[in-house]
């Protein structure tokens, strides 16, 4: 493969990539542009260049890929990968069969049709990448024919100025006389004399460079190395394609180009936006792996505010217009009619007597150059009575990649006839044939070295049609290969071939069914001869008619390619297509007051940045959606630099339209909406492509892991389909709100076809439930919980790109899943980035190792390294220090603590009149081994102390002797002893704030201690206004696992005491004794449900001591990680006491008496005290029967009114679904799920039945509103 003799950029610049890239990733596509250009051939590239120079924002969509000299295929295998086959193969009276296979973005598209097929080019540069570079103008006599519009046929010189414009850009010139003589051209000159057309022989102008240096657009080019490889893309940098001229110029003036984008149809916008929506299938990121119907169904789109220029080629543009017609765009019935193959005929002069040298070579051969594909022609167009009888024959050559195929074709295809040869000549021919077969087509004196290529262009009847059948284009040329015209050309070629001792061979398609093949399909949206839709699809400047019998056109819908040429022109059409495009675009600019800047470019640095931008560029620089700032000038460069891997994912399911808010982690709400959506057929489908950023971004918790681009389709949501660009994907980001969990997060702004702006947010949750469960791991990583919200747009720029969102409103919610077959397709789309195999391997390995390590860390949770408490200072999110702390001395001399929090005067609840409520006292009692921090928890944003102080309560929390307290640590106190501390605290409050009755909230063993004091009379019941008991009160009953522990013949407390001592500390570290570390390892396997597994050593030890104290789902990561700071330990003496009470179901005194306080005289002391009890439905410590038994006993004793005459309902009991034990106070959402109903009961008793709570306008109100909104 040859390389440039001249660079594509100034030598002072060192490129980071081997080849330039002037197209952009589709991830950077904006939703709206002034102009959208479809296709990048001669017409489309002209439009893109001129509109960019006029200051318009331009988007160009190209089906193929961007390739530069040095990247074009040279071998048969490389070329085969670039083929696409479409159309109807071998159609006949019996009918053909539809073909659609190969590479959808390949350079070569063989389009099968009836009687004539077409060879089309794809890629950034269109057919200019693979044509023969011949620049010839249409004959004036042809332009005068009646099928042209009057503006052209009455003055054919009208196009001269535009031909010159094109000539100035493409700079055509004939093969230089002082360059080496080319054998194929010399033989062809002799043949012209033989057939009597020697005076018609001429060298043709070529858009091939024969000198190095910058071209007209400022791109450095090389001189031709004469390899004959033009038809598969020239790698020597000498081919003047639209890529290195018009498109490079468009890029330099700010046009944005996107490849692998196949436009399907165009829709006229009916709302105030105006313009057109261009729907396209993006073939990037392996999306075709999900079946063609998905690629063509999940269409992306872009909005053209002013104009759409169709330059997809005669067949491509016509197909788009036909499909647009089916989708509701009104056009003339002439769309798809009047098509022509430009009278093309392809044939070969096989095994001539002399060397022709018409085989392309991958590298230059100075001694025997092949030359450009075409250098000369027999031009028989002038001086004829009927211009339609004119024709042109051109000699050609076959690129190396086709030679193996050509060898087979010529060997197996019969010739028209064999020339008369002697026996010696026949022997020599046979030897040459077998030499080529055995040694290959390039063998010296083989048959292919002596084979000619002929291309004829003439005039056919222009009667072909293109139509859609089952949404696929069908091309029909009637009788083209059977016409007298073809027979006449065959006679001419036979005569020429006979003169050099060769055999005329036609294409295989011709022998199959008299089929021809054309490289120059024309028309399909022809200019009308009278500028009405009655006789054409477009007017004289390519504007598309709105119907038949009208001259009205769709404003800004313009065809600029060969589809507008109304009939064959008998010559290579590139010059005429480009000239007509120049004229059309100039007319559009004039009509719209645009001035096309004609300033010459400097030498272009194609590895750098464009020199110009659209005139309104500053108003629509896109927001990339990330939390970091990336200047748009660097966005493409940065993205390409950071890209490590790409993949595409398809998820489908049901999305239910709803306006109901729900918490982001409320799975039942999602499941309910999924079921509702399924019942109503509200199907949703998300097809997205992810660009994974490099390893540092992948592991950074605060940054997205990938950029997302794609589509979301849900027909029941107005605006569908929705386009997603620059969305964010987070891979295994720590779920701080849920301990031991990671999320795969999807956050995408979406724009609907109607301009509606929505936001899709979803997550896949990977938590402890996947532990050792492959099935659950699959479910977790393939189930996406989706919320669609609409936002109040408070600020929006003129290009609709920058948005400030506010006040989310739920539009829809549901669940999407990856199905197994789609997952298999997704795996096939994994594509690592990199310029070398090593780099790609490294990037793929990094990604797979990251994904595997994150997955296994959850899958192997029970076996992973234990997490030990953090050492040193830990910054908390909600540090809530007490306003004052009192030292309390109980009657037995034990010293404990009482903490008090005073409400903020500026943040206190108000009554119905807006007056701040009176501050009341509220006493709270924590359970065993914890302290005041379970109520003033600093690791959640909204704790119980915050909640009740803002409700107008002065909060007191006792830290009694069985709590986490330094002064009583490792002592044998029990709940019965703690009643003395509680009494002392109440006395202290009464002493300072008066003798009013006190409302008390007591949790777990704190509630048991409080019940002991009330039932045995230690704490006077007249001091108590009301009680809320959390989990238990006077009837402790263990849950299943704790009950088993309590009734074991050999108690675990006794075993622990005998081996490790009297005290079990919940805090631990790697510096602990070997026995304690052994215990830590054994506790990994403590029985429990899979979803509650974790690796926190302190959590394991707390579970051993008391049972599972929380549902892990309710704890955020910070709380769980710092659990040792809130949990102390317990003595085996206390545990023995608790074990006995919990197994018998009654509170009792200490050993040895164990007096149980369950007699009527004990219960009588509770008369008149309103009591509410609640318990977590999934508590692993206390059985729900504990509060149920207390509730029943109280009602049996005093009735529902607590023994108060006319007292109403004074006993209440609640079971909190989804909660365990301590998470009722320490849970991240306890402020929403638990605190409110506790406060309601406290307010009812303290402030009266009629009181209504009005929360203060403080930071917690903002927090609550923001949480509910999200």
pLDDT 10s digits, 392-448: 999 999 888 877 666 666 666 555 455 555 555 555 555 555 555 544 554 455 677
**Domain span holding position 937:** 884-1038+1138-1269
pLDDT band at 1103, cuts 50/70/90? very high
- Structural contact between residues 664 and 694, judged by C-beta atoms closer than 8 angstroms: no
98 and 59 together in one domain: no
End-to-end CA distance of the chain: 57
Same domain, 355 and 305: no
Is residue 445 domain-shared with residue 502, that is, in the same domain?
A: yes
* The domain boundary residue, chosen from 518, 550, 566: 518
Average pLDDT over residues 586-590: 97
Q: Are strands 722-734 and 706-713 parallel, antiparallel or unpaired?
A: antiparallel
**Encoded tokens for 1070:** 């790697």
Question: pLDDT grade, residue 1244 (50/70/90)?
Answer: very high
% the chain with pLDDT above 70: 89
CA 434/CA 407 separation, integer angstroms: 11
- pLDDT at position 407: 67
Looking at the fold, whether 103 and 50 belong to one and the same domain comes out as no
For the segment 884-898, the average pLDDT, to the nearest whole number, is 96
580: domain CATH number is: 3.50.50.60
Tell me: do 787 and 820 sit in the same domain.
yes
pLDDT digits (tens, 9 = 90+) for 755-766: 899 999 999 999
Q: How far apart are CA 77 and CA 79, in angstroms?
A: 5
Provide φ and ψ at 470, rounded to 5°.
55, 40
Domain total in the chain: 4
Largest CA distance in the chain: 135
Q: Does a structural domain hold residue 1118?
A: no
pLDDT score, position 622: 43
Same domain, 543 and 490: no
Q: How confident is the model at residue 509 (pLDDT cuts 50, 70, 90)?
A: low
**pLDDT at residue 798 is higher than 50:** no
Q: Which residue has the higher pLDDT, 704 or 48?
A: 48
Domain end call among 487, 518, 549: 518
pLDDT digit string, tens, across residues 253-292: 999 999 999 999 999 999 889 999 999 999 888 887 876 5
As beta bridge partners, residue 804 has: 795
Q: What is the value of pTM for the model shown?
A: 0.81
Identify the weakest region by mean pLDDT among 16-30, 401-415, 905-919, 1008-1022: 401-415
The answer to whether 1129 and 1066 are in contact (CB under 8 A) is yes
**Quick check: is 1125 in a domain?**
no
Q: Do residue 855 and residue 907 come from a single domain?
A: no
Last residue of a domain, which of 591, 620, 646? Answer: 591
Q: The CATH number of the domain where 944 resides is what?
A: 3.40.50.1820
- Asked whether residue 225 is assigned to any structural domain, the reply reads yes
What is the mean pLDDT of the segment spanning 342-365? 89
Surface-to-core class of residue 820, CB atoms within 10 Å of its CB (0-12 exposed, 13-18 middle, 19+ buried): exposed
Q: Which letter does DSSP use for residue 216 in this model? A: T
771 and 805 share a domain?
yes
pLDDT of residue 794: 47
Model confidence band, residue 1201 (pLDDT cutoffs 50, 70, 90): very high
The verdict on residue 92 lying in a domain is yes
Same domain as 282, residue 193: no
What is the pLDDT at residue 224? 95
Of 644, 643, 28, 648, nearest to 288 (Cα)? 648
Q: State how far the Cα of 293 lies from the Cα of 388, in Å rounded to an integer.
A: 44
Q: What is the pLDDT of residues 1007-1035, one digit of tens each?
A: 999 999 999 999 999 999 999 999 999 99
Provide the pLDDT confidence category of residue 617 given band limits of 50, 70 and 90: low
State how far the Cα of 446 lies from the Cα of 1242, in Å rounded to an integer: 103
Q: Considering only CA atoms, which of 1059, 1217, 1036 is closest in space to residue 1132?
A: 1059
Question: How confident is the model at residue 12, as a pLDDT?
Answer: 40
Region 216-229: mean pLDDT is: 95
In the predicted structure, residue 1116 carries a pLDDT above the cut 50: yes
Average pLDDT for 67-72: 94
Q: Is the bond leading into 721 cis (omega within 30 degrees of zero)?
A: yes
In a domain, residue 1099? The reply is: no
Token pair recorded at residue 957: 């929390």
- Residue 871: what pLDDT? 72
Q: Which residues contact 1170 (CB under 8 A, 6 or more apart)?
A: 1025, 1026, 1027, 1202, 1210, 1211, 1241, 1245
Residues 497 and 382 in one domain: yes
Mean predicted confidence (pLDDT) in 974-998: 95
pLDDT at res. 970: 87
Q: Are 889 and 961 in contact (CB under 8 A)?
A: no
Mean per-residue pLDDT for 914-924?
A: 92
Convert the pLDDT of each residue in 830-875 to its tens digit: 988 887 889 889 888 988 888 898 889 888 888 888 888 877 667 7
Q: Is residue 1046 part of a domain?
A: no
**Whole-number mean pLDDT of the chain?**
87
Order of strands, sheet of 97-102, starting from the edge strand that comes earlier in the sequence: 97-102, 83-89, 108-112, 116-121, 516-518
How many residues are listed for the chain in this entry? 1270
Write down the pLDDT at residue 1145.
93
Mean pLDDT, residues 1237-1260: 91
* Statement to judge: residues 1226 and 1265 lie in one domain: yes
Q: What is the pLDDT of residue 75?
A: 87
794 in the same domain as 736: yes
Higher pLDDT, 1264 or 497: 497
Residue 1059 lies in a domain: no
Instruction: Answer yes or no: is 1169 within a domain.
Output: yes
């Amino acid at each position: 493969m040859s390389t440039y003799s001249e660079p594509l950029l100034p030598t002072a610049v060192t490129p980071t990539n081997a080849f330039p890239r002037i197209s952009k990733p589709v991830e950077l596509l904006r939703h709206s542009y002034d102009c959208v250009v479809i296709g990048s051939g001669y017409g489309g590239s002209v439009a893109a260049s001129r509109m960019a120079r006029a200051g318009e924002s331009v988007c160009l969509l190209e089906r193929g890929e961007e390739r530069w000299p040095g990247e074009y295929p040279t071998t048969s295998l490389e070329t085969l990968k670039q083929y696409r086959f479409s159309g109807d193969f071998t159609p006949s009276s019996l009918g053909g069969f539809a073909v659609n296979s190969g590479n959808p973005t390949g350079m070569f598209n063989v389009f099968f049709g009836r009687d004539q097929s077409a060879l089309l080019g794809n890629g950034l540069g269109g057919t200019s990448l693979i044509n023969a570079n011949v620049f010839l103008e249409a004959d004036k006599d042809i332009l005068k024919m009646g099928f042209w519009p009057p503006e052209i046929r009455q003055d054919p010189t009208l196009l001269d100025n535009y031909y010159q414009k094109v000539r100035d850009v493409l700079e055509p010139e004939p093969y230089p006389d002082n360059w080496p003589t080319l054998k194929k051209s010399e033989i062809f000159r002799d043949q012209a004399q033989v057939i009597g057309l020697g005076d018609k022989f001429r060298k043709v102008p070529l858009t091939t460079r024969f000198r190095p240096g910058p071209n007209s657009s400022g791109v450095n080019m090389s001189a031709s190395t004469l390899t004959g490889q033009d038809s598969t893309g020239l790698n020597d940098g000498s081919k003047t394609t639209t890529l290195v001229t018009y498109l490079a110029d468009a890029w330099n003036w700010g046009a944005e180009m996107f490849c692998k984008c196949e436009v399907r149809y165009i829709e006229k916008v009916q709302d105030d936006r105006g313009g057109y929506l261009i729907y396209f299938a993006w073939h990037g990121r392996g999306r075709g792996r999900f079946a063609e119907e998905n690629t063509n169904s999940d269409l992306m789109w872009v909005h053209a505010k002013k104009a759409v220029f169709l330059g997809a080629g005669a067949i491509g543009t016509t197909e788009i217009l036909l499909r647009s017609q089916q989708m509701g765009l009104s056009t003339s019935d002439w769309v798809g009619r009047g098509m022509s193959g430009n009278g093309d005929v392809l044939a070969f002069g096989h095994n001539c007597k002399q060397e022709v040298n018409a085989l392309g070579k991958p590298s230059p051969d100075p001694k025997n150059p092949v030359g450009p594909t075409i250098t000369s022609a027999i031009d028989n167009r002038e001086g004829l009575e009927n211009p339609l009888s004119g024709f042109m024959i051109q000699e050609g050559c076959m690129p190396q990649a086709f030679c193996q195929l050509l060898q087979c074709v010529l060997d197996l295809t019969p010739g028209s006839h064999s020339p008369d040869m002697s026996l010696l000549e026949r022997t020599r021919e046979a030897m040459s044939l077998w030499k080529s077969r055995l040694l290959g087509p390039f063998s010296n004196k083989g048959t292919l070295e002596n084979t000619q290529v002929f291309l004829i262009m003439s005039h056919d009847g222009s009667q072909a049609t293109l139509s859609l059948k089952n949404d696929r284009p069908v091309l029909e040329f009637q009788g083209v290969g059977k016409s007298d015209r073809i027979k006449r050309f065959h006679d001419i070629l036979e005569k020429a071939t006979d003169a050099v001792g060769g055999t005329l061979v036609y294409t295989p398609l011709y022998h199959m069914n008299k089929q021809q093949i054309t490289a120059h399909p024309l028309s399909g949206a022809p200019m009308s001869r009278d500028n009405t839709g009655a006789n054409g699809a477009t007017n004289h400047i390519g504007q598309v008619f709105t119907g038949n019998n009208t001259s009205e056109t769709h404003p800004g819908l313009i065809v600029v390619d060969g589809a507008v040429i109304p009939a064959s022109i008998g010559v290579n059409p590139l010059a005429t297509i480009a000239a007509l495009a120049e004229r059309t675009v100039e007319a559009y600019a004039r009509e719209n007051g645009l001035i096309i800047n004609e300033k010459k470019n400097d030498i272009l640095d194609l590895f750098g940045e464009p020199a110009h931008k659209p005139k309104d560029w500053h108003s629509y620089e896109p927001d990339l959606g990330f939390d970091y700032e990336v200047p748009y000038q660097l966005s493409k460069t940065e993205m390409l630099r950071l890209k490590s891997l790409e993949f595409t994912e398809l998820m489908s399911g049901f999305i239910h339209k709803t306006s109901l808010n729900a918490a982001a982690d409320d799975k039942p709400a999602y499941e309910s909406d999924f079921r509702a959506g399924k019942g109503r057929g509200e199907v949703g489908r998300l097809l997205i492509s992810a660009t994974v950023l490099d390893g540092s971004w992948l592991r950074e918790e605060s940054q997205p892991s990938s950029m997302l681009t794609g589509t979301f389709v849900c027909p029941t949501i107005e605006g569908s389909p929705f386009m997603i660009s620059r969305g964010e994907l987070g891979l295994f980001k720590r779920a701080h709100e849920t301990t031991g969990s990671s999320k795969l997060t999807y956050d995408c702004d979406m724009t609907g076809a109607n301009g509606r702006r929505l936001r899709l947010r979803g997550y896949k949750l990977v938590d402890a439930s996947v532990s050792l469960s492959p099935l659950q791991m699959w479910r977790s990583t393939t189930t996406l919980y989706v919320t669609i919200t609409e936002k109040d747009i408070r600020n929006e720029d003129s290009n609709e790109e920058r948005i400030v969102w506010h006040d989310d409103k739920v539009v829809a919610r549901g669940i999407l899943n990856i199905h197994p077959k789609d997952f298999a397709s997704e795996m096939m789309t994994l594509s690592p980035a990199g310029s070398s195999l090593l780099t790609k391997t490294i990037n793929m390995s990094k990604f797979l190792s990251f994904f595997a390590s994150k997955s296994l860390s959850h899958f192997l949770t029970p076996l992973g390294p234990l997490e030990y408490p953090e050492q040193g200072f830990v910054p908390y999110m909600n540090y809530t220090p007490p306003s004052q702390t009192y030292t309390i001395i109980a009657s037995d001399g034990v010293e404990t603590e009482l903490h008090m929090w005073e409400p903020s005067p500026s943040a206190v609840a108000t009554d119905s009149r807006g007056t701040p409520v009176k501050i009341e006292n509220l006493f709270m009692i924590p359970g065993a081994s914890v302290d005041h921090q379970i109520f003033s928890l600093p690791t959640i944003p909204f704790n119980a102390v915050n909640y009740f102080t803002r409700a107008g309560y002065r909060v007191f929390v006792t830290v009694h002797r069985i709590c986490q307290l330094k002064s009583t640590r490792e002592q044998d106190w029990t709940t019965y002893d703690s009643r003395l501390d509680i009494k002392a605290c109440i006395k202290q409050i009464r002493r300072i704030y008066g003798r009013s009755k006190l409302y008390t909230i007591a949790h777990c063993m704190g509630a048991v201690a409080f019940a002991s004091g009330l039932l045995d009379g230690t704490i006077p019941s007249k001091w108590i206004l009301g009680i809320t008991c959390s989990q238990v009160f006077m009837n402790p009953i263990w849950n299943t696992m704790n009950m088993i522990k309590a009734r074991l013949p050999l108690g675990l407390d006794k075993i622990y005491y005998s081996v490790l001592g009297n005290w079990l500390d919940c805090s631990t570290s790697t510096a602990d004794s070997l026995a304690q570390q052994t215990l830590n390892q054994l506790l990994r396997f403590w029985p429990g449900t899979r979803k509650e597994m974790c690796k926190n050593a302190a959590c394991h030890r707390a579970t051993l001591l008391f049972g599972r104290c929380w549902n892990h789902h309710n704890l955020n990561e910070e709380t769980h990680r710092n659990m040792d700071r809130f949990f102390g330990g317990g003595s085996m003496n206390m545990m023995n006491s608790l074990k006995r009470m919990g197994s018998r179901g009654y509170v009792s005194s200490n050993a040895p008496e164990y007096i149980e306080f369950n007699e009527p005289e004990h219960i009588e002391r509770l008369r008149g005290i309103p009591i509410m009890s609640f318990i977590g439905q999934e508590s692993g410590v206390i059985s729900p029967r504990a509060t149920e038994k207390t509730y029943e006993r109280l009602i049996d004793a005093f009735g529902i009114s607590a023994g108060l005459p006319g007292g109403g309902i004074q006993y209440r009991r609640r079971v909190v679904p989804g909660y365990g034990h301590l998470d009722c106070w320490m849970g991240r959402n306890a402020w929403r799920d638990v605190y409110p109903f506790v406060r309601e009961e406290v307010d009812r008793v303290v402030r009266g039945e009629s009181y209504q709570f009005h929360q203060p306008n403080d930071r917690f109100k903002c927090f609550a509103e923001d949480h509910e909104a999200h």
